[in-house]
Amino acid sequence: MNPLIKSAPFWLGIITGIILSLVIGIVDFHLKFDGLCFDCDNDFGFPLRIYQSGSAVIISQIVWSGLLGNIVIFSLLSVCIGLILHSLWNKKELK
């Protein structure tokens, strides 16, 4: 098995990316949510919209393409963070 996949810094980066995506999603929801407006169209999700709240005329819906896009984007971000942490850890061990 590839030593990169077995390394702790790589998995620390993956977990950091997952936590980062969850925090960004929750913060985006709280920033854009308007609980006092019954007939407003609220869209949530960063960087792509994943939820569109409805009104009296439009139903609420999950935007599946946005959800899939966000999963891909944050997965790539997590892998990049993992690779950066892995390379920094290896440089630190060589010294």
pLDDT on residue 41? 72
pLDDT on residue 62? 84
2-26 pLDDT, tens digit per residue, is: 777 788 888 888 899 889 999 998 8
**Which residues, in sequence order, are CB contacts of 53 under 8 Å at separation 6+?**
40, 41, 42, 43, 44, 60
pLDDT on residue 73? 93
What is 34-94 written as a DSSP string?
-TT-TT---EE-SSS--EE---SSS--EE-HHHHHHHHHHHHHHHHHHHHHHHHHHHHHHH
- Residue 83 in contact with residue 13, Cβ under 8 Å? yes
Q: What are the backbone angles phi and psi of residue 62, rounded to the nearest 5°?
A: -90, 130
Asked whether the predicted pLDDT for residue 55 surpasses 80, the reply is: no
